[in-house]
Amino acid sequence: MTDNAPTAPNVSIALLHYPVYDKNHQIVTTAVTNLDLHDIARSAKTFGLHRYYVITPVGEQRTLAERIRAHWLEGWGASYNPKRKAALELMQVVDSLDTALAELEKYYGKRAKIVITGAAGRQNSISCPQLTELFRDVDQSYLLLFGTGWGLTEEVFNRADYVLEPIKGRGAYNHLSVRSAAAIILDRLLGER
């Protein structure tokens, strides 16, 4: 198996900077964070995903994310750290969830199913093993959504085909960073044990 073997070819991940809640339940656009790009790209590459979408409607923020990507793909970073290049190649910066979905539909010829992880859990939650089982049907693609700020809005939740059960630790505290949550979910869904 080579470094570039796509081994979860029908699964992609997206990080939304809009629409998400802030601390006071207002709908806002959050800022792109450098380590969100790197950490989630590295996790996506490790677990063999098709693509990592970074979604923000703010043009300047997209330019910033593109510049970071270009640094590691073409700039000095590419020779300094080829492993980073391999990860950030998966990353694509787009203006909206609909753009990401349209691109996936064009690639696969079929609409991707939307999967959301909620810290709270929902009535129609499915478990990680159930979703892993669904992934076996490679004719269907999936897009896992993660929110920044204080989480994805109801509007986004209402578009989900599946809501994934929340990550449980060892107590009531449940405030992982989005980078940690994405890593754990990908490991639960696609990690080899």
Residues that bind a second copy (CB under 8 A): 1-3, 5, 7-8, 23, 35, 38-39, 42-43, 45-48, 80-81, 83-84, 86-87, 128, 167-177, 179-184, 186-188, 190-193
Q: What are phi and psi of 99, to 5 degrees?
A: -65, -45
Of 57 and 166, CB closest to a second copy: 166
| Shortest distance in whole angstroms from residue 183 CB to a second copy | 4
Element holding 78 (H helix, E strand): helix 76-80
| Shortest distance in whole angstroms from residue 158 CB to a second copy | 26
Of 41 and 97, CB closest to a second copy: 41
d(CA 29, CA 21): 8
Residue 2 has which token pair? 């080579």
Of 25 and 170, CB closest to a second copy: 170
Residue 54 has which token pair? 């970074």
Of 99 and 140, CB closest to a second copy: 140
Residue whose structure tokens are 């590419």: 78
d(CA 94, CA 106): 15
